[in-house]
Amino acid sequence: MASLKELAKQGEKFLGGHRACAGCGATIIARQVLLAAQYPVVVGAATGCLEVISTIYPYSAWNVPYIHNAFENVAATMSGVEVAYNALKKKGKITKELRFIAFGGDGGTYDIGLQSLSGMIERRHRVLYVCYNNEAYMNTGIQRSSATPYGAHTTTSPAGTKIPGKLQPRKNLTEIIIAHEPAYAAQATIGYWNDLVTKVRKALDANGPSFINIFSPCRLGWAYPPEKTAAITRLAVETCVWPLYEYENGKYRITVKPKEKKPIVEFLKMQGRFSHLLKLKDDTPIKEFQAEVDRIWEKLLKRSAE
Amino acid sequence: MASLKELAKQGEKFLGGHRACAGCGATIIARQVLLAAQYPVVVGAATGCLEVISTIYPYSAWNVPYIHNAFENVAATMSGVEVAYNALKKKGKITKELRFIAFGGDGGTYDIGLQSLSGMIERRHRVLYVCYNNEAYMNTGIQRSSATPYGAHTTTSPAGTKIPGKLQPRKNLTEIIIAHEPAYAAQATIGYWNDLVTKVRKALDANGPSFINIFSPCRLGWAYPPEKTAAITRLAVETCVWPLYEYENGKYRITVKPKEKKPIVEFLKMQGRFSHLLKLKDDTPIKEFQAEVDRIWEKLLKRSAE
Amino acid sequence: MALLEIRWHGRGGQGAKTAALLFADAAVETGKYIQAFPEYGPERMGAPVFAFNRLSDKPILQHCGIKSPNIVVVLDPTLMETIDVTEGLADDGIILVNTQKTAQEIKEQLKIKKQKVYVVDASKIAKDILKRDIPNTPMLGALIKVSKLLDFEPMLESVKKRLEHKFPNRPDVVEGNIKAIIRAYEEVKE
Amino acid sequence: MALLEIRWHGRGGQGAKTAALLFADAAVETGKYIQAFPEYGPERMGAPVFAFNRLSDKPILQHCGIKSPNIVVVLDPTLMETIDVTEGLADDGIILVNTQKTAQEIKEQLKIKKQKVYVVDASKIAKDILKRDIPNTPMLGALIKVSKLLDFEPMLESVKKRLEHKFPNRPDVVEGNIKAIIRAYEEVKE
Amino acid sequence: MIVARTGNEAMAEAMRQINPDVVAAYPITPATEVVQLFASFVADGLVTTEFVPAESEHSALSACVGASAAGARVMTSTSSQGLALMHEILFIAAGMRLPIVICLVNRALSSPINIHCDHSDSLASRDSGWLQIFTENTQEAYDTTIMAVKMAEEIMLPAMVTTDGFIISHGMERIELIDDKKVPKWLGERKVVNNLLDIDKPITLGSLDLQDYYFEHKRQEIEAMNNCLPIIEKVQKDFGDTFGRYYPIVDEYKMDDAEVAILAMGSTGGTAKVAVERMREQGKKVGLIRCRIYRPFPKQAMLRAITKVKALGIMDRADTFSTMGGHLYNDCRSILYDADKKPLIKNYIYGLGGRDISIEEIETVFEQLLKIKNTGKVDKDIVYYGVRGE
Amino acid sequence: MIVARTGNEAMAEAMRQINPDVVAAYPITPATEVVQLFASFVADGLVTTEFVPAESEHSALSACVGASAAGARVMTSTSSQGLALMHEILFIAAGMRLPIVICLVNRALSSPINIHCDHSDSLASRDSGWLQIFTENTQEAYDTTIMAVKMAEEIMLPAMVTTDGFIISHGMERIELIDDKKVPKWLGERKVVNNLLDIDKPITLGSLDLQDYYFEHKRQEIEAMNNCLPIIEKVQKDFGDTFGRYYPIVDEYKMDDAEVAILAMGSTGGTAKVAVERMREQGKKVGLIRCRIYRPFPKQAMLRAITKVKALGIMDRADTFSTMGGHLYNDCRSILYDADKKPLIKNYIYGLGGRDISIEEIETVFEQLLKIKNTGKVDKDIVYYGVRGE
Amino acid sequence: MKKEKKGWKEIPIGLVLDSGTSKEFETGDWRSDKPIWDEKKCTHCLICWIYCPDSAIIIKDGKVQGIDYKYCKGCGICAEECPPKIKAITMVREEK
Amino acid sequence: MKKEKKGWKEIPIGLVLDSGTSKEFETGDWRSDKPIWDEKKCTHCLICWIYCPDSAIIIKDGKVQGIDYKYCKGCGICAEECPPKIKAITMVREEK
Ligand SMILES: Cc1ncc(C[n+]2csc(CCOP(=O)(O)OP(=O)(O)O)c2C)c(N)n1
Ligand SMILES: Cc1ncc(C[n+]2csc(CCOP(=O)(O)OP(=O)(O)O)c2C)c(N)n1
Ligand code: SF4
Ligand code: SF4
Ligand code: SF4
Ligand code: SF4
């Protein structure tokens, strides 16, 4: 269990001066993940908010080696960086122990980057892939992704007079990745920094591909007051909208169990993206959303009991 | 339970005169799947053996509407066909009930076409995706795919003096798809035509995206005598190398349980692609393969017991 | 009327772009030719942003940026500390600032001699009437006044239309904004 | 020696391509310039296929297809029923067929007057010696004979080398193939 | 109806009025809004379109191919990296002769990644067999989007209509909209030649073509491109006759007595027209030529225009990375090869990655051209205009 | 060492001798063998390369970008649809100035899908900022693959070396191999300018470039392309001096006294040389020009060659789908614009999708050119040669 | 299998092709072994038919009529799969 | 934030950039609310630090030194997360 004092000892690896909205969750993730790393790391990022706000030429917020290639290929790009490292190490041109971390948003991971990630895991590259999951395409102005929850309003799944927000449930990427049998997989979020730090360290020590899906509030896309960024993630966990668990050599483990499971409405009502659902006379959308959450939570309890 | 007499009543939908190798499993799949369909179907195919051998201009073996676009996008292409059908139906330009089937090889499905398929399922297009899985890229001359089993020889995972065939286990695509929660998912193979036919009919009746992963012997890539094409699939099932099961509204069901589970060696020794493994003094590769098969089978038994 | 070029200074989220668009949109209905375009950047909430307008009686063909505006509108006075809002402003140009200060104080702060300065406490107006610090619509009123080339009544009408279209079932919001525009139109001073 | 062009007829899987490549590869070592290329199609096992060779003492520059070969080699006689193996064959050309029939019978079957026909039962040779019906290597021997422009000994040597390289720890296979080649070289007749 | 719209709004309005059967798309700056607005039309039931929020542009266009082959009227929108990711399927859509229409917002290609305007994205796919129409302003973008549907369907080739990223896509202008009902009426229904969904007469689309047929199929496609200009002109005339706005193949501005001229594409055309005015006020005989239809390349019309002047400044908002300068520059030199009147030509590569081009800078170009005309000498034939440190 | 090798074998041998740090690739006919053979070298421990069997070409090239940025010497191989799928990343690799080398086997682009040779695939990416070198035969493919590594690394731009699909890739020829040890020795180590793996001096690669810097970065890339021909010549000379085989920028055959000539790329060059011989035997003064270095386009060398004759037949194995004919045709007309000697030019679009081109057909072209020379008239300036029904 | 190939103006536009035309392409000559069907033994269970990759088992009113040698490539699956107790199909070498 | 921009011959080749240079870009002026840190109340638990999106909580030897207003955008997370019983950070409106 890491202590903040310990983490604070090392210098910052993700600096201020970036262009993120005030209170952006993605940047907190970048900081917490890099602070957790106990090895020197080389970072790759997919196109997306995190990349855009951190590397506007001639300014870079990254205090570690960083590469950006395109939107859909950070996993493939880091696969290449990792094998180059292996090759150069074999030839003695590099001696240090390095680790590799790929950052992608949910769009760059659940959708356009899924194949690249699937290939990276199947080929067993030793890279930690971090999906900072703000549940929509924020950089382009809040479009739906397959991580966008049922009913949420986005600009491509708008709450209109005929259609009440997104019609499909979230793609369960963490389960999809677990079906790939990576060396390590987990869900985390910033509100539980300690849980997050522990998972990052496990992932970097795992001898193979690892994946962490990190719930990442976006004050713009979710429409909530910026100071609530950390608080909102705790509600997501307490309502089981975002269960914290990990998968390691074939076993599931829930790392943070809410004392009492709150109804999702508590989570929804904090955010503008769901406000139309709460206004609807007909509460089936919310019921369906709740049912979906319960179903997945039940399954998780079962799996972790196995 | 369909009878062959019944199936034979309708005319052939996949004709002779195609250019497949004598005894090709993929073409048997095309026939069995189309014969099973109780609706008029529109077919799409990904680039690969099935497409190449069936549509060399000016000859087409397909006796149903057919479209080929590219290698990696048959799922997206058929998504488009399906929505066009919905749109035209809304406008009364089409009245008939049609169904849509996409055929892709394992390369076009597990690897380069995975994302396209994932998107099709996430958007809930009512298309049956059939992966005819011959466990390698055959059309281009037997290269490894992520469906290629551990230890198998292919031209890009050759059994060499330093490396004994493919080093990674099979990607478990069926589980990956199940994690997408399609309306219906299953594994099937030609040797159990009745099981296959039943699954195709369930899939076409399912109100949403469906997926069937069909084990497809390739006499060229697997190196076995052509007349064994059906027999070999039964061995795959009896050794649990290819379990026959289905997933429907949250439940797993094993559709064909082998009376006694045979050791995988019985399956391996029929095929040239594994011959080097049997020649090795060190039998760890085979042991690991067996362990992998057992692990997945155990999991399946557990899941289907849930 | 010759071509008039306007530059808006605001912060991401403050509605400088919205104001510029609304201004242009409304002006069209009064028979003018217009352009409205934001400064093109991936800037996020809080960051300094620009928006621009062109206004004319004749068709506007050019699509280049605006380097020397006739009018500069400052939505957020704190911007003046870090950004030279007078940059490129024509000698006979006008600066319109949302502030509690007097025009004179602003003149001194910006060290400008030739150009005219107009001030209005749009934030206060917004807070009074709309109960939120969104100075952009009030500033519209002030702008119409100082620009001297749009008839107030018709502009007000067409702004109203647009607000009604934007907030179909919020007459209160529409009313509030219109009130704010009128008050700013009246309160803006040199 | 002028340029010699050869066309091979076989079936997918029968090794027409392999034979053409092996032939060319071996000929290079004897100091010749060569080309070997398959007919380019996605054909599968069993389908009729072609392969081609060019052979010369001088560098070969052209990369076009071969339309009028000097020699045609038929690995599988059943092909003659569906395919015109004599197509484009020069009047002074040669046809070499793997068959039990006599050259005369083949002449009649193919209705050819001018060109020479050579026959050899390569399948039998293969089955006798290699215990499998793979007529391609034996046919090499026959081809060397009829083509009259390669010295047998050096060709045999370099073919052997290549087989040894291909089957490192199968001396039996190498021996068998060499035997088969020699026998075909001897048995081929007009 | 006179309104104020941004380029993206205008294209989205056109799509709403066209009410295509299928729209499959993926967001990308600066084209996102087109899709976004259209999605809201769907959500509000203003269109009956099936909207497919694809998981990538590659899949978006692949779905468009499937839908178009199935007989639907299909549109999409993208930009830059999105178009690049569609590259493979662009050629396939054209080869299958599917009249898909893309509302393309021009944006510079990575790398470096940049979200602003240049023409490298559409020009990098100029061989794909798509019609390419570059528009100057919001009105033209709106009108051309509607016309493109008709052109594509009659020619049986897909079409891209482009606007300059941000400059037009996010720039609000005064435009006139056509009545909602008139648009579908003018377009009529799509006539489907090969109907994939006709199960009574099953067809096979997209077969494997070997050496024996590929050339013949491509020859048909080439012929379609070679012969489609008259159809384009017909559609433009018909549009003008119906709605009162006429568009040329090549837009000539003050060219009748011009001694020197600038050739450009996209929004720069408008800026250059203002520069022409200013120069003319000083009595200088300058003109502007704007290439509107870029694919097919209008050889004759372009020759007619560019041979009117003694000195021609070709402004390319992209480079070919070939040592040969920009695209229009090479296209024009090529078609001029056997012309008897040959202007002196200078190539200005400008505005890459959204670098602004001002009226003054264009006036400077005119001054240089006048000098060239007088001296008869082109000092440097390819220059990079507006780059720092040149 | 004299051996017999197919084009794919030759390129794979070159890769084995180069022993790159990383190879990431994806199979595609007719390039598959290159990767296949290389994979067997890896399996047999003949190279120390890290081999990445990517799940698509897009990922293959993306991994190459990552590996090259990390300081590795990187190669891959692909063809046609594979290259098209890499399109987006091609521009990125060049923009990041990464010296990746692709062994490209030319194959026609879909649709229709076809596995045979034409040049549409590499030509469709000619703007991407990659060096493009078209080879005539197996020997040249082998030698050029080795040279390309050095060129790319010195120029800091990626390079494609192409062979004609099946014709060369699957055609066995007699070639001379260099001793294994000599190749790495001649190449030396890659000098890495920006080292991503240097954690003590962390750098940021691939940042977002807005209007204020994009043009400057692209200008650097353009400059690299504009100035790299001398480096290419230097490397070719150095290679010749070391290994005895010299290669030109533009390959001229019997051009000294030629009155008419054909300009072509790839394997057709060889076939045309034989045609030249036959014509010469009849006393006809014909010659061949083969464009070997296509990107950067060698303006000077090409001008020198093509202005030697009165009539020039430009044979393009691809079309631009622009109404303007083939690529070389337009490139040459463009560079000839201000030349004082101008040959009569006729464009022959031929061989699409692997349509064979015979010596006799090329002789016919020469006859037509001689007629053009004599009559001084070009009847039809763009013809589709060898298509049925023309 | 020779037939005159059409010119570019004659073939239909849009890369289209009538379905089922492979009937015109006979693959029977690929065969090196030939299935012989014994009508007397056959119980018409249709097992051979469901497994034939080349749709070469001719069926009429639910009964096997024989084998279509125009397409049969002689893979031998039918003989292999015909029930052990029946074995109504046997493979013989194509005589040359 | 004005600084002379380099010409194309002066900027490094290969789209490279030194890491950590965002320090030169001050985002403090984006702030409309300002966190005030009360040294006396602070227990140096560092909670505010781990949550600050702009790395604007200045730490030295494991102790909070104050807030770096050059970068702080005033999101208010620090004040929100500072333990209830402590609340050593309070947000005040930036006076204009
Ligand atoms: C091929 C391609 N398509 C689209 C884009 C435009 N684009 C850039 S970032 C982005 C969305 C990113 O969303 P996500 O991955 O969720 O990250 P976020 O912005 O939400 O942090 C899109 C659509 C692109 N750059 N490249
Ligand atoms: C983008 C692209 N990459 C590569 C290819 C080449 N290619 C065609 S089919 C194929 C392999 C197909 O393998 P699979 O999907 O397993 O089907 P199979 O051939 O085994 O039936 C490949 C690599 C292609 N056509 N397009
Ligand atoms: S939009 Fe959301 S994700 Fe992007 S910077 Fe702002 S808060 Fe962060
Ligand atoms: S290679 Fe395999 S899959 Fe392809 S046709 Fe032959 S048997 Fe069928
Ligand atoms: S959270 Fe509060 S108590 Fe803890 S360090 Fe920060 S200011 Fe001090
Ligand atoms: S207000 Fe936000 S940015 Fe400022 S110090 Fe607190 S947490 Fe950091």
Q: Is A60 on the interface with B (CB under 8 A)?
A: no
Residues near A275 by beta carbon (within 8 Å), at least 6 away in sequence: A153, A223
Q: How far is the CA of E20 from the centre of ligand 3 (A)?
A: 33
pLDDT at residue B271, as a whole number: 97
Ligand found nearest the CA of C42: 3
Chain H residues in contact with C82 (beta carbon < 8 A): 1, 29
Cβ–ligand 3 distance for A218 under 6 Å, the answer: yes
Tokens describing residue D146? 């009829």
ipTM over 0.95: yes
Confidence band of D1 (pLDDT split at 50, 70, 90): low
| A51 to chain C, closest Cα gap in Å | 11
Question: Does residue B281 sit at the E interface (CB-CB below 8 Å)?
Answer: no
F199, A68: Cβ pair inside 8 Å?
no
Summarize pLDDT for F288-332 with one digit per residue, the tens: 999 999 999 999 999 999 999 999 999 999 999 999 999 999 999
Residues of C with CB below 8 A from F208's CB?
Answer: 42
In degrees and rounded to multiples of 5, residue A129 shows phi and psi of -100, 120
pLDDT grade for C1, boundaries at 50, 70 and 90: low
Question: DSSP class of residue E208?
Answer: B
Backbone angles phi, psi at F58, to 5 degrees: -60, -45
**Alpha-carbon torsion angle F335, F340, F343, F348, nearest 10:** 20
Do the Cβ atoms of D40 and E211 come within 8 Å?
Answer: yes
Q: Is the pLDDT of residue D11 over 90?
A: no
Angstrom CA distances, H39 to E247, F82, H56, H83, stand at: 71, 62, 16, 14
C-alpha distances (whole Å) from A130 to each of A35, A133, A170, A184, A188 are: 14, 9, 18, 12, 10
Asked whether F133 and F162 are in contact (CB, 8 A), the reply is: yes
Strand, coil or helix: F179: coil
Q: Which chains touch B (3 or more CB pairs under 8 A)?
A: A, D, E, F, G
Q: Dig out the tokens for F320 from the structure.
A: 């631009």
Residue D43 pLDDT > 80, yes or no?
no
Cβ–Cβ gap F112/E207 under 8 Å: yes
Burial of D84 (0-12, 13-18, 19+ CB in 10 A): exposed
Q: Is F40 in the D-facing interface, judged by CB distances under 8 Å? A: no
* Bridge partners, B66 (sequence order): B43, E204
Contact assignment for D65 to F356 by CB distance below 8 Å = yes
What is the DSSP track for chain A?
---HHHHHHSPPSB-S---PPTT-HHHHHHHHHHHH-SS-EEEEE-SSHHHHHH-BTT---BSS-EEE--SS-HHHHHHHHHHHHHHHHHTTS--S--EEEEEEEHIIIIITTHHHHHHHHHTT---EEEEEE-SSBTTTTSB--TTSPTT---SSS-B-SS-BS--SPPP-HHHHHHTT--SEEEEEEGGGHHHHHHHHHHHHHSSS-EEEEEE---HHHHT--GGGHHHHHHHHHHTTSS-EEEEETTEEEEEE--SS---THHHHTT-GGGHHHHH-S--HHHHHHHHHHHHHHHHHHHHHH-
Q: pLDDT > 70: what percent of chain E? A: 100
Q: Which of H21, D180, A52 is nearest to C47 (CA)?
A: A52
List the beta bridge partners of residue A211.
Answer: A129, A185
A40 reaches F (C-beta below 8 A)? yes
**Cα(F350) to centroid of ligand 5, in Å?**
76
* Rounded average pLDDT over H29-58: 96
Tokens 């006599």 belong to which residue? D102
Q: Do E69 and B67 touch (CB under 8 A)?
A: yes
* Touching pair A, F by Cβ (3+ pairs < 8 Å): yes
Handedness of CA F56, F62, F65, F68 (dihedral sign): negative
Res G96 pLDDT > 60: no
CA of A198 to the centre of ligand 5 (A): 22
pLDDT in tens, A224-247: 999 999 999 999 999 999 999 999
CB atoms within 10 A of CB C12: 21
Give the contacts of D98 (CB within 8 A, at least 6 positions apart).
D74, D75, D76, D77, D119, D120, D121, D122, D123, D135, D138, D139
Query: Are H88 and H37 within 8 A, CB to CB?
Result: yes
Q: What is the pLDDT of residues C95-146, one digit of tens each?
A: 999 999 999 999 999 999 889 999 999 999 999 998 888 899 999 999 999 9
- Is the Cβ of F115 closer than 8 Å to some Cβ of chain D? yes
- Which residue among F193, F207, F215 places its CB closest to the CB of H17? F207
How far are the Cα atoms of A127, B255, B286, C12, F184 from residue A182, in angstroms, in the given order? 10, 28, 22, 41, 37
pLDDT (0 to 100) of residue H1: 42
**Which member of A112, A122, A178 has the closest CB to residue B171?**
A122
- Of the pLDDT bands very low, low, confident and very high (cuts 50, 70, 90), residue B127 is very high
Nearest-CA distance from B25 to chain E in Å? Answer: 21
Kind and range of the H or E element at E295? Answer: strand E293-295
Sign of the CA dihedral with F254 first, then F258, F264, and F267 last:
negative
**Rounded mean pLDDT of chain B?**
96
- The letter for the amino acid at A103 is F
CB of A71 less than 8 A from some CB of E: yes
Interface with H, mutate which of A7, A49, A60 (most H CBs under 10 A) = A60
pLDDT of B86 over the 90 cut: yes
Q: Is D42 on the interface with G (CB under 8 A)?
A: no
Determine the pLDDT at residue C78.
87
Paired with H63 in beta bridges are H60
Q: CB of E354 within 8 A of CB of C40? A: yes
Question: pLDDT tens digits, residue range E346-373?
Answer: 999 999 999 999 999 999 999 999 999 9
Q: From the CB of H77, is ligand 5 less than 6 Å away?
A: no
Decide if pLDDT at D74 tops 70: yes
Atom of ligand 4 nearest to the CA of B19: 5
Structure confidence at residue G95 as a pLDDT band (50, 70, 90): low
* pLDDT, average across residues E130-146: 98
CA–CA distance, F286 with F260 (Å, rounded to integer): 5
> What sign does the dihedral F306-F308-F311-F315 (CA atoms) show?
negative
Label the pairing between strands C71-74 and A128-133.
unpaired
- Residue range H50-88, pLDDT digits in tens: 999 999 999 999 999 999 999 999 999 999 999 999 999
> Mean pLDDT over residues C155-159, rounded?
92
Per cent of chain C over pLDDT 90 is 71
Report CB contact under 8 Å: B19, D45.
Answer: no
- What average pLDDT does range D9-35 have in this prediction? 91
Nearest CB to A180; choose among B112, B171, B250: B171
Beta bridge partners of B189: B215
AA identity, residue F179? D
Give the per-residue pLDDT at G1.
41
User: How far does the CA of residue E213 sit from the closest CA of chain D (Å)?
Assistant: 13
Which numbered ligand comes closest to the C-alpha of A21? 3
CA–CA distances in Å: residue F172 to residues D49, F166, F198, F277, F357: 17, 10, 45, 23, 19
Contact G10 F389 (CB under 8 A): yes
CB of H42 sitting under 6 A from ligand 5: yes
Q: Which of E65, E58, E127 is nearest to E92 (CA)?
A: E65
Give the mutation candidate from D44, D45, D49, D170 for the B interface (greatest B CB count, under 10 A): D44
- For residue range E211-223, list pLDDT tens digits in order: 999 999 999 999 9
E343 has a pLDDT exceeding 70 = yes
Structure tokens at A115: 């194949």
Chains D and H touch, contact meaning at least 3 pairs of CB atoms under 8 angstroms apart = no
**b vs e for C93-120, b when ≥16 Cβ sit within 10 Å of the residue's Cβ?**
bbbbbbbebebeebbeebebeebebbbb
Residue type, F162: T
Express as a percent the part of chain F with pLDDT over 70. 100
Q: Average pLDDT for residues B97-120, to the nearest whole number?
A: 98
Q: φ and ψ at E141, to 5 degrees?
A: -60, -45
Determine whether the interchain pair B65/E55 forms a contact, defined as Cβ–Cβ distance below 8 Å: no
Distance from CA of C44 to the nearest CA of A (A): 5
> Comparing C113 with F142, which gets the higher pLDDT?
F142
How far apart, in whole angstroms, are the C-alpha atoms of residue F16 and residue F38? 7
Q: What is the distance between the terminal CA atoms of chain H, rounded to a whole angstrom?
A: 20
Residues A150-209 have pLDDT tens digits of: 999 999 999 888 888 898 999 999 999 999 999 999 999 999 999 999 999 999 999 999
Residue E300 has a pLDDT of 97
pLDDT over 60 at H96, yes or no:
no
**Given this model, what pLDDT does residue D170 score?**
86
Closest-approaching ligand to the CA atom of H59: 5
Check CB contact of E28 with chain A, cutoff 8 Å.
yes
Nearest CA in chain H to A64: H19
- Length of chain G, in residues: 96
Q: Which residues pair with E23 in a beta bridge?
A: E51, E75
Span A120-142, mean pLDDT?
Answer: 97
| Best residue for ligand 1 mutational test, from E81, E113, E121 (most atoms within 8 Å of Cβ) | E81
Residue C188 φ then ψ, to 5°: -60, 135
For the record, the structure tokens of B50 come out as 């099935």
Can you tell me the distance from the alpha carbon of F97 to that of F91, in angstroms, rounded to the nearest whole number? Answer: 10
User: Where does E70-129 have alpha helices with state H?
Assistant: 80-95, 120-123
**Nearest CA owner, ligand 1 atom 11:** A137
Angle at G73 between CA G68 and CA G78, to 5 degrees: 70
Of the pLDDT bands very low, low, confident and very high (cuts 50, 70, 90), residue C42 is: low
Query: How confident is the model over B140-171, as pLDDT tens digits?
Result: 999 999 999 999 999 999 988 888 889 899 99
Mean pLDDT of chain E: 97
Q: Are B19 and G27 contacting, i.e. CB atoms less than 8 angstroms apart?
A: yes
Alpha-carbon distance of H12 to A125, in angstroms, equals: 32
Kindly calculate the radius of gyration of chain H based on its CA atoms and give it in whole angstroms.
17
Compare all CA atoms of chain C with the CA of A139 and give the residue at the minimum distance: C42
| Whether the bond into B58 is cis, omega within 30 of 0 | yes
Query: What Rg value do the Cα atoms of chain G yield, rounded?
Result: 17
Residues of chain E with Cβ-Cβ distance to G6 below 8 Å are 216
Mean pLDDT computed over every residue of chain F: 97
Residue E108 has pLDDT above 60, yes or no: yes
Atom 13, ligand 1: residue with shortest CA distance: A137
Q: Where are the alpha helices (DSSP H) in B97-184?
A: 106, 114-122, 173-178
Under 8 Å between Cβ of D44 and D86: no
Best residue among A28, A137, A220, A232 to mutate for probing ligand 3's pocket (most ligand atoms within 8 Å of CB) is A220
The answer to whether A193 contacts H50, with C-beta atoms less than 8 Å apart, is: yes
Query: Does residue D13 carry a pLDDT above 90?
Result: no
Q: What tokens does G50 get?
A: 């469901």
Question: What are the tokens at A191?
Answer: 């509100």
Long-range contacts of G57-65 (CB under 8 A, 24+ apart): G59/B8, G62/B5, G62/B8, G62/B9, G64/G37, G64/G39
Provide the angle, in degrees to the nearest 10, between the axes of the packed helices C136-147 and C16-29: 50
CB-neighbour burial class of residue G2 (10 A; exposed 0-12, middle 13-18, buried 19+): exposed
pLDDT: which is higher, G3 or B281: B281
**A20: CA distance to ligand 3 center in Å?**
6
Residue nearest ligand 4's atom 4 by CA: B49
Q: Is A217 in the pocket of ligand 1 (CB under 6 A)?
A: no
Owner of token pair 């966990």: A237
pTM over 0.95: yes
| Dihedral Cα E315, E320, E321, E322, nearest 10 deg | -110
How far from each other are the two terminal CA atoms of chain D, in whole angstroms? Answer: 23
